[in-house]
Structure 1
Amino acid sequence: MAISTQGTILNITGTKGETPINIDVAIKSFPDLGAAPAAIEVTCLSDDSQKFIPGIKGMAAMEFVANYDASVFEQLVGAEGLDLTYKVNFGETEYSFSGKHNALIVGAGLNAAVDMKVVVLPGSKITKVA
Protein backbone atom coordinates (compact mmCIF):
# COMPACT_ATOMS: atom_id res chain seq x y z
CA MET A 1 0.00 0.00 0.00
CA ALA A 2 1.29 3.45 -0.88
CA ILE A 3 1.73 6.11 1.78
CA SER A 4 2.05 9.88 1.65
CA THR A 5 5.05 11.88 2.84
CA GLN A 6 2.67 14.22 4.66
CA GLY A 7 3.55 14.37 8.35
CA THR A 8 7.07 12.96 7.94
CA ILE A 9 9.34 14.12 10.78
CA LEU A 10 13.07 13.82 11.50
CA ASN A 11 13.59 13.17 15.21
CA ILE A 12 17.08 13.52 16.70
CA THR A 13 17.83 12.18 20.19
CA GLY A 14 20.83 11.67 22.43
CA THR A 15 22.69 13.46 25.19
CA LYS A 16 25.20 16.29 25.50
CA GLY A 17 26.99 15.53 28.74
CA GLU A 18 24.06 14.81 31.03
CA THR A 19 21.63 17.04 29.13
CA PRO A 20 19.08 15.15 27.00
CA ILE A 21 18.67 16.12 23.35
CA ASN A 22 15.32 15.72 21.60
CA ILE A 23 14.90 17.73 18.39
CA ASP A 24 11.94 17.36 16.01
CA VAL A 25 12.60 18.76 12.54
CA ALA A 26 9.61 19.29 10.22
CA ILE A 27 11.43 18.30 7.04
CA LYS A 28 10.54 19.18 3.45
CA SER A 29 12.62 16.41 1.88
CA PHE A 30 14.77 13.47 2.90
CA PRO A 31 17.47 11.37 1.17
CA ASP A 32 17.43 7.72 0.21
CA LEU A 33 17.32 5.59 3.36
CA GLY A 34 19.89 3.06 2.22
CA ALA A 35 22.51 2.53 -0.46
CA ALA A 36 23.45 0.08 -3.16
CA PRO A 37 26.53 -2.03 -2.45
CA ALA A 38 29.80 -1.37 -4.23
CA ALA A 39 30.48 -3.73 -7.13
CA ILE A 40 33.57 -5.89 -6.64
CA GLU A 41 34.84 -7.18 -9.96
CA VAL A 42 35.67 -10.91 -10.01
CA THR A 43 36.09 -11.38 -13.77
CA CYS A 44 38.59 -13.99 -14.93
CA LEU A 45 40.47 -13.86 -18.22
CA SER A 46 38.48 -16.90 -19.36
CA ASP A 47 35.12 -15.10 -18.85
CA ASP A 48 33.34 -13.58 -21.84
CA SER A 49 31.71 -10.83 -19.74
CA GLN A 50 32.45 -9.02 -16.50
CA LYS A 51 31.31 -10.56 -13.23
CA PHE A 52 30.72 -8.81 -9.92
CA ILE A 53 29.89 -9.63 -6.32
CA PRO A 54 28.33 -7.17 -3.88
CA GLY A 55 30.67 -5.24 -1.61
CA ILE A 56 30.08 -2.85 1.26
CA LYS A 57 27.16 -0.45 1.02
CA GLY A 58 28.62 3.02 0.59
CA MET A 59 26.57 5.39 2.71
CA ALA A 60 27.27 9.03 1.94
CA ALA A 61 26.25 12.21 3.73
CA MET A 62 22.46 12.35 4.10
CA GLU A 63 20.81 15.75 3.57
CA PHE A 64 17.48 16.58 5.19
CA VAL A 65 15.92 19.91 4.09
CA ALA A 66 13.55 21.96 6.27
CA ASN A 67 12.16 25.47 6.43
CA TYR A 68 14.49 27.68 8.47
CA ASP A 69 13.33 27.94 12.08
CA ALA A 70 15.69 29.94 14.33
CA SER A 71 14.87 27.95 17.46
CA VAL A 72 15.30 24.54 15.80
CA PHE A 73 18.45 25.71 13.98
CA GLU A 74 20.00 26.81 17.28
CA GLN A 75 19.28 23.37 18.77
CA LEU A 76 20.77 21.66 15.71
CA VAL A 77 23.97 23.74 15.85
CA GLY A 78 24.28 23.01 19.58
CA ALA A 79 24.18 19.27 18.86
CA GLU A 80 26.68 19.25 15.98
CA GLY A 81 29.38 16.59 16.08
CA LEU A 82 27.70 14.48 18.77
CA ASP A 83 26.90 10.77 18.39
CA LEU A 84 23.11 10.85 18.12
CA THR A 85 20.15 8.73 17.03
CA TYR A 86 18.16 9.84 13.97
CA LYS A 87 14.64 8.60 13.26
CA VAL A 88 12.60 9.29 10.14
CA ASN A 89 8.95 8.86 11.07
CA PHE A 90 6.34 8.29 8.34
CA GLY A 91 3.48 8.02 10.83
CA GLU A 92 2.99 4.27 11.16
CA THR A 93 6.55 3.42 10.10
CA GLU A 94 9.86 4.61 11.52
CA TYR A 95 13.48 4.07 10.44
CA SER A 96 16.44 4.66 12.74
CA PHE A 97 20.21 5.04 12.50
CA SER A 98 23.06 6.66 14.41
CA GLY A 99 25.47 9.31 13.22
CA LYS A 100 26.73 12.87 13.56
CA HIS A 101 25.37 15.98 11.85
CA ASN A 102 26.08 19.54 10.82
CA ALA A 103 23.41 22.18 10.27
CA LEU A 104 23.54 24.92 7.67
CA ILE A 105 21.38 27.61 6.15
CA VAL A 106 20.79 27.04 2.44
CA GLY A 107 21.47 29.82 -0.05
CA ALA A 108 18.35 31.40 -1.59
CA GLY A 109 17.26 34.02 -4.08
CA LEU A 110 14.45 36.48 -4.69
CA ASN A 111 10.94 35.40 -3.61
CA ALA A 112 12.13 32.20 -1.93
CA ALA A 113 11.70 30.65 1.47
CA VAL A 114 14.85 30.32 3.57
CA ASP A 115 15.73 26.67 4.08
CA MET A 116 18.13 24.87 6.37
CA LYS A 117 19.80 21.48 5.98
CA VAL A 118 20.71 18.82 8.47
CA VAL A 119 23.62 16.90 6.92
CA VAL A 120 24.10 13.56 8.68
CA LEU A 121 27.12 11.28 8.37
CA PRO A 122 25.63 7.87 9.20
CA GLY A 123 27.44 5.69 11.70
CA SER A 124 25.23 2.60 11.54
CA LYS A 125 22.93 0.61 9.32
CA ILE A 126 19.45 2.07 8.81
CA THR A 127 16.88 -0.22 10.43
CA LYS A 128 13.11 -0.31 10.66
CA VAL A 129 11.90 0.34 14.20
CA ALA A 130 9.52 -2.41 15.34
Structure 2
Amino acid sequence: MAISTYKIFLMKKSSEGNTYEKLIDIKEFPDLGGAPEMLETTTLSDNMQTYIPGVQSLDALEFTANYTKVDFTKLKALEGQEIDFAVWFGGTGEGNTLTPTGSDGKFEFKGQLSVFPVGGGVNEVVDMTITIAPSTPITAAED
Protein backbone atom coordinates (compact mmCIF):
# COMPACT_ATOMS: atom_id res chain seq x y z
CA MET A 1 0.00 0.00 0.00
CA ALA A 2 1.26 3.49 -0.84
CA ILE A 3 1.86 6.21 1.74
CA SER A 4 1.25 9.95 1.61
CA THR A 5 3.78 12.73 2.18
CA TYR A 6 1.61 13.76 5.14
CA LYS A 7 3.52 13.00 8.35
CA ILE A 8 7.08 13.17 6.99
CA PHE A 9 9.58 14.85 9.30
CA LEU A 10 13.12 16.24 9.22
CA MET A 11 14.72 15.04 12.44
CA LYS A 12 17.92 15.91 14.32
CA LYS A 13 19.63 13.81 16.96
CA SER A 14 19.37 15.50 20.34
CA SER A 15 22.56 16.76 21.96
CA GLU A 16 21.93 14.60 25.05
CA GLY A 17 21.95 11.17 23.47
CA ASN A 18 20.55 8.77 20.94
CA THR A 19 17.03 10.16 20.60
CA TYR A 20 15.80 12.20 17.67
CA GLU A 21 13.66 15.33 17.79
CA LYS A 22 11.80 17.12 15.02
CA LEU A 23 14.05 19.87 13.67
CA ILE A 24 11.45 21.86 11.73
CA ASP A 25 8.23 21.35 9.79
CA ILE A 26 9.09 20.88 6.13
CA LYS A 27 7.10 21.40 2.93
CA GLU A 28 9.35 19.41 0.57
CA PHE A 29 12.13 16.87 0.90
CA PRO A 30 14.72 15.64 -1.65
CA ASP A 31 15.50 12.22 -3.06
CA LEU A 32 17.18 10.18 -0.34
CA GLY A 33 19.54 8.42 -2.71
CA GLY A 34 20.65 8.43 -6.29
CA ALA A 35 21.61 6.25 -9.21
CA PRO A 36 25.13 4.86 -9.21
CA GLU A 37 27.68 6.19 -11.67
CA MET A 38 27.98 3.91 -14.69
CA LEU A 39 31.48 2.55 -15.33
CA GLU A 40 31.90 1.56 -18.95
CA THR A 41 33.24 -1.95 -19.60
CA THR A 42 32.73 -2.03 -23.39
CA THR A 43 35.40 -3.82 -25.39
CA LEU A 44 36.10 -3.71 -29.10
CA SER A 45 34.37 -7.11 -29.36
CA ASP A 46 31.05 -5.76 -28.01
CA ASN A 47 28.35 -4.53 -30.38
CA MET A 48 26.71 -2.53 -27.57
CA GLN A 49 28.09 -0.54 -24.63
CA THR A 50 28.23 -2.43 -21.32
CA TYR A 51 28.56 -1.10 -17.77
CA ILE A 52 28.99 -1.98 -14.13
CA PRO A 53 27.68 0.18 -11.29
CA GLY A 54 30.14 2.54 -9.62
CA VAL A 55 29.79 4.91 -6.68
CA GLN A 56 26.27 6.10 -5.93
CA SER A 57 25.66 9.76 -6.77
CA LEU A 58 24.14 12.07 -4.17
CA ASP A 59 23.62 15.80 -4.46
CA ALA A 60 23.16 18.25 -1.62
CA LEU A 61 19.89 17.54 0.19
CA GLU A 62 17.51 20.51 -0.10
CA PHE A 63 14.46 20.82 2.11
CA THR A 64 11.86 23.60 1.87
CA ALA A 65 10.18 25.12 4.92
CA ASN A 66 8.10 28.16 5.77
CA TYR A 67 10.29 31.08 6.81
CA THR A 68 9.94 32.45 10.33
CA LYS A 69 12.62 34.48 12.08
CA VAL A 70 12.58 32.05 15.04
CA ASP A 71 13.11 28.95 12.86
CA PHE A 72 15.69 30.70 10.66
CA THR A 73 17.71 31.79 13.72
CA LYS A 74 17.51 28.27 15.19
CA LEU A 75 18.82 26.73 11.94
CA LYS A 76 21.52 29.40 11.45
CA ALA A 77 22.93 28.46 14.87
CA LEU A 78 23.51 24.90 13.59
CA GLU A 79 25.59 25.90 10.56
CA GLY A 80 29.16 24.63 10.48
CA GLN A 81 28.47 21.61 12.71
CA GLU A 82 28.34 17.96 11.70
CA ILE A 83 24.98 16.73 12.95
CA ASP A 84 23.06 13.46 12.88
CA PHE A 85 19.92 13.96 10.76
CA ALA A 86 17.09 11.68 9.74
CA VAL A 87 13.96 11.79 7.64
CA TRP A 88 11.13 9.89 9.27
CA PHE A 89 8.06 8.64 7.44
CA GLY A 90 5.01 8.24 9.69
CA GLY A 91 3.58 9.72 12.84
CA THR A 92 0.60 9.66 15.16
CA GLY A 93 -1.94 12.28 16.10
CA GLU A 94 -3.30 15.26 14.22
CA GLY A 95 -2.56 18.99 14.02
CA ASN A 96 -0.66 20.36 17.02
CA THR A 97 -0.48 16.92 18.66
CA LEU A 98 1.36 15.29 15.75
CA THR A 99 4.18 13.04 16.96
CA PRO A 100 6.86 11.61 14.61
CA THR A 101 7.23 7.83 14.89
CA GLY A 102 9.07 6.75 11.75
CA SER A 103 6.68 3.81 11.56
CA ASP A 104 6.88 3.82 7.74
CA GLY A 105 10.67 4.21 7.56
CA LYS A 106 13.64 6.12 8.96
CA PHE A 107 16.55 7.30 6.83
CA GLU A 108 19.63 8.49 8.75
CA PHE A 109 22.78 10.38 7.78
CA LYS A 110 25.29 12.90 9.08
CA GLY A 111 25.92 16.25 7.50
CA GLN A 112 26.29 20.01 7.76
CA LEU A 113 23.40 22.32 7.07
CA SER A 114 23.03 25.80 5.71
CA VAL A 115 19.87 27.84 5.41
CA PHE A 116 18.72 30.83 3.38
CA PRO A 117 15.42 32.59 2.60
CA VAL A 118 14.29 32.16 -0.99
CA GLY A 119 12.87 34.76 -3.33
CA GLY A 120 9.17 35.29 -3.72
CA GLY A 121 6.53 37.15 -5.64
CA VAL A 122 3.14 38.74 -5.13
CA ASN A 123 0.77 36.83 -2.84
CA GLU A 124 3.20 34.02 -1.91
CA VAL A 125 4.36 32.47 1.35
CA VAL A 126 7.99 33.27 2.20
CA ASP A 127 10.02 30.05 2.22
CA MET A 128 13.53 29.08 3.19
CA THR A 129 15.76 26.36 1.85
CA ILE A 130 17.65 24.11 4.22
CA THR A 131 20.59 22.52 2.43
CA ILE A 132 22.39 19.60 4.04
CA ALA A 133 25.75 18.42 2.69
CA PRO A 134 25.77 14.72 3.62
CA SER A 135 29.04 13.45 5.09
CA THR A 136 27.90 9.82 5.43
CA PRO A 137 25.77 7.56 3.23
CA ILE A 138 22.02 7.68 3.84
CA THR A 139 20.99 4.42 5.47
CA ALA A 140 17.60 2.93 6.26
CA ALA A 141 17.46 2.57 10.04
CA GLU A 142 16.54 -0.75 11.57
CA ASP A 143 13.96 -0.72 14.34
Give TM-score scaled by structure 2 length. Answer: 0.81
Aligned 8 A contact 2:117 2:127 in 1: yes
Within-5 A mapping of 1:5-20: 5-13=5-13, 15=15
Aligned to 2:139: 127
Runs of at least 4 residues of structure 1 off by over 4 A? Answer: none
What is the rounded CA distance, in whole Å, between the counterparts of 1:129 and 1:51 in structure 2? 34
How far off its partner does 1:23 sit? 5.6
How many residues in Structure 1 have an aligned counterpart in Structure 2? 125
Give TM-score scaled by structure 1 length. Answer: 0.89
Aligned to 1:109: 121
Q: Which ranges in structure 1 are unaligned for 5 or more consecutive residues?
A: 16-21
What is the rounded CA distance, in whole Å, between the counterparts of 2:57 and 2:135 in structure 1? 11
Q: Deviations over 1:26-45 (max 9, x none)?
A: 10010001011000111111
Q: Which ranges in structure 2 are unaligned for 5 or more consecutive residues?
A: 16-20, 91-102
Aligned 8 A contact 2:9 2:22 in 1: no
Q: Which structure has more strand as a fraction of its residues?
A: 1
What is the rounded CA distance, in whole Å, between the counterparts of 1:6 and 1:23 in structure 2? 15
What is the rounded CA distance, in whole Å, between the counterparts of 1:7 and 1:104 in structure 2? 24
Percent identity, aligned pairs only, is 40
Aligned to 1:4: 4
**Root mean square deviation of aligned Cα:** 1.6
